[in-house]
Structure 1
Amino acid sequence: MDGKLVGVISTPGPPCWKVYVDGAANQRRSGVGLVLISPERTTIEKSLRLGFPATNNEAEYEALLQGMPMVRKMGGKAIEMFLDSRLVVGQVKGELEARDSRMQEYLSQVKRLQSDFNLFSLSHISKSGNTHVDSLATLATSSAGGLP
């Protein structure tokens, strides 16, 4: 290129939220943990107790269904979500079939909310890479008072 510098032109994508979610369930309670990171790197942590009994997979879906509207309410149009459930990630991506009627309903709710975003991605993350959010979800299943 005859010694001239060549500039690189890149177009930035939409400001993207990163959201780490996890669900937890035991015999007495179920809950979700969420860590939302804004495009400006503001971190929001949530531990929410579910007001109904749920399986672990249902709690994983509930975590998605809590995180997505939170980002939308804060004006987010692009979201990258991370979840340690291979089953739920596989169902949302269409790689696995949701056979149970409750899983099918959860999946359809996630698909409806997905359409609210210009960019939506969901990735599987290892349990060891999701320990902080797992702790928040476990907190929601504890007997600690004062949780919603």
Structure 2
Amino acid sequence: MDGKSIGMISQQDALSCKVYVNGIANQKGSGVGIVLISPEKITIKKSLRLDFSTTNNEAEYEALLMGMTMVQKMGGKATVMFLDSRLVVGQVKGEFESRDERMQRYLSQVGHLRSGFKSFNLLHIPRSGNTHANSLATLATSSTQGLPQVILVEDLYKSAGVERKVVHVHQVRVSLAGWIP
């Protein structure tokens, strides 16, 4: 590669939204987790409950489509997306065939949205590299009741005021008198 190509790649990456997506389906329902990082390094996190029945692979496609839609609604034209579903990434990249009719429809929708990007890159990552999006997807399925629209997560660095008394034990005496093994 020449220096110009490397410069173009670096510049393109700087203008791309990075999006980590995950979809899950379990006995409680289906959910989607999205972590979008803008080119300005602003992070947007989204947890969506799917109020319709899906398989795990369909939930993964829903996550991918929602992430793509978020980028486009924000006016983004370049994105790098990260997904831990080898099947979905393989189907989108044309490495795996999609035989199921519903999967083919999802794949078609991805292709349609993909055409709206100047640059679109989908990468498979290990599940351990997608824990934040996975946690958000799991959150969506954690309750059968509606979740609040805003969930604040805060780090506490000290106790909220309840002092813990520490008792130091210097010597312990145990009497075994009367004990029968």
Instruction: List per-residue Cα deviations over 1:13-58 (Å, max 9, x = no partner).
Output: 2710000000011123101000000000000000000110111000
Question: Counterpart of 2:68?
Answer: 68
Q: For 1:24 and 1:13, how far apart are their aligned partners in 2? A: 31
TM-score in terms of structure 1 length: 0.90
Tell me the equivalent position of 2:167. none
* Alpha-carbon distance in structure 2 between the residues aligned to 1:106 and 1:85: 14
* Larger of the two Rg values belongs to structure: 2
Kindly provide the amino acid, as one letter, of the partner of residue 87 in structure 2: L
TM (norm. structure 2) is: 0.74
Q: Name the structure 2 match of 1:145.
A: 146
C-alpha displacement of 1:132: 1.0
Written as runs of structure 1 = structure 2, the 5 A alignment for 1:1-148 is 10-11=7-8, 12-13=11-12, 15-143=15-143, 145-146=146-147
Give the gaps of 5 or more residues in structure 2. Answer: 150-181
2:45 alignment partner AA: E
1:88 is matched by which residue type in structure 2? V
Total equivalences in the alignment: 141
**Secondary structure at the residue paired with 2:12?**
coil
Q: Which secondary structure does the structure 1 equivalent of 2:134 belong to?
A: helix
Distance 1:147 1:101 in 2: 35
> Between Structure 1 and Structure 2, which shows a larger proportion of strand residues?
1
Asked if structure 2 preserves the Cα contact closer than 8 Å seen for 1:82 and 1:125, the reply is: yes
In structure 1, C-alpha distance between the alignment counterparts of 2:50 and 2:148, rounded to whole Å:
10
Alignment partners' CA distance in 1, 2:148 and 2:78:
29
Q: What residue identity is the alignment partner of 2:103?
A: M
Q: 1: CA distance between counterparts of 2:55 and 2:91?
A: 16
Aligned to 1:136, the other structure's residue is in SS state: helix
Once the two structures are overlaid, the 10-residue window that deviates more, 98-107 or 8-17, is 8-17
Higher relative CO (Cα under 8 Å, sequence separation at least 6) belongs to: 1
Q: CA RMSD in A?
A: 1.5
- Write out the 4+ residue segments of structure 1 that deviate beyond 6 Å after TM superposition: none
> In 1, distance between residues paired with 2:64 and 2:130?
14
Deviations 1:69-120 (A, max 9, x none): 1111111000000000000000000000011000000000001000000000
